[in-house]
Amino acid sequence: MNTTTLYQVDCLIFDFKVGQADYFECVCGADLPEESDSKYRVQCGSCGTWQHAECLKYDIEDPARGEYFCPHCWTQRDPVPSGATLIVSPTTISYQWIEEIQKHIRHKKVNKTRG
């Protein structure tokens, strides 16, 4: 006869958070001190991580850019509402989709990208 024994483990729960220190971690892999790095850096509004604006295609001169969030924190945010429709199709038949869509819409833009 198999007998299973359950053990209760008491855990201590801490009621404080350890704040994250500011640090630099760019997708390009650079590990230069700020003084010797010529690229402009942006800081994530959520976790505080610094990254190169250029490496992330974050246009610092665009007045409508809004607050910066790093790729990790961006995935944790609520989805952005959009009126766009995404159609994924094999490259060999994508022209058929574009022709069909253009039959039904006027004055709207159809973008084709390769993924």
Residue 72: both structure tokens together: 């990790």
What is the count of structural domains for the chain?
1
Cα separation, 67 vs 53, whole angstroms: 12
Cα separation, 27 vs 100, whole angstroms: 39
Cα separation, 52 vs 44, whole angstroms: 11
In a domain, 56, yes or no: yes
In a domain, 18, yes or no: no
Range of the domain at 85: 34-104
User: SS3 for 51?
Assistant: strand
Q: Give mean pLDDT, residues 60-87.
A: 86
Count of Cβ atoms closer than 10 Å to residue 91 Cβ: 9
In a domain, 115, yes or no: no
Give the pLDDT confidence score for residue 17 in this predicted structure: 56
In a domain, 82, yes or no: yes
Here the CATH number for the domain that contains residue 99 is 3.30.40
List, for residues 76-93, the tens digit of each pLDDT value: 989 888 887 788 888 888
Say yes or no to pLDDT of 96 above 60: yes
H helices present in the chain, as ranges: 71-75, 94-104
In a domain, 1, yes or no: no
Give the pLDDT confidence score for residue 1 in this predicted structure: 53
In a domain, 8, yes or no: no
Question: Kind of pairing, strands 50-52 and 41-43?
Answer: antiparallel
Percent of the chain past pLDDT 70, that is, above it, reads 78
Cα separation, 88 vs 92, whole angstroms: 12
In a domain, 9, yes or no: no
